[in-house]
Structure 1
Amino acid sequence: MATFTITEFQGIVNACFDGTTAEEIKDSTLHTEFTDLGFDSLTVYEIVTRIQDDYAVTVPDEQLDELTTPAALIQYVQGQLTAV
């Protein structure tokens, strides 16, 4: 069974920023809103698209609106992976 943790999430974020500086996601920023981390909606959408491609999970658009922090998104994806 695949897992999706802060480490995997940070890898996806780094890939989305293609080597440029991205906000490092740490335990202290897990519950910070994406907008407060400097991620606009397009960046969050790109992150979610990569997660869906790499982990074969689905994050419906209406669900994405509720996943406003890295912790919420990580928990949702891990829940989807566990359900499979």
Structure 2
Amino acid sequence: MSAFTLTEFKKLVEQSYDAESAEALHGQALDTSFTDLGYDSLTVYEIVTRIQDEHGVTVPDEELDLLDTPRALIAYVDARAGSRT
């Protein structure tokens, strides 16, 4: 399986939320909490579900609580996606 990148994450955000929010994900926004970015828990859950469906990486609820920024979630998924064969 290939790496999980910011580009891949932006595609999922666009599908789950909107294109404008996806395009705003750069720089400091990557270290901003999902709540502060305006994502509610349902939106984050939808993104995580798409990650599981499209990339085969499961994010347990207890882990998701700790992955509260785009950068943290991308790094988590990338580390696991890269280790899958």
Q: Same fold (TM over 0.5)?
A: yes
In 1, the alpha carbon distance for the partners of 2:51 and 2:20 equals 20
Residue aligned with 1:2, SS: coil
1:22 is the counterpart of 2:18: no
Which residue of the partner structure matches residue 50 of structure 2?
A: 50
Unaligned runs of 5+ in 2: none
Matched letter for residue 22 of structure 1: S
Matched letter for residue 60 of structure 1: P
Counting matched residue pairs gives 83
How much does 1:22 deviate? 2.8
In 2, the alpha carbon distance for the partners of 1:28 and 1:44 equals 19
Residue aligned with 1:30, SS: helix
Distance 1:63 1:20, change over 3 A: same
Which residue of the partner structure matches residue 60 of structure 1?
A: 60
Which residue of the partner structure matches residue 31 of structure 1?
A: 31
Q: Percent identity over the alignment? A: 53
Unaligned runs of 5+ in 1: none
How much does 1:77 deviate? 0.2
TM-score, with structure 2 as normaliser: 0.89
How much does 1:21 deviate? 4.2
Which residue of the partner structure matches residue 82 of structure 2?
A: 82
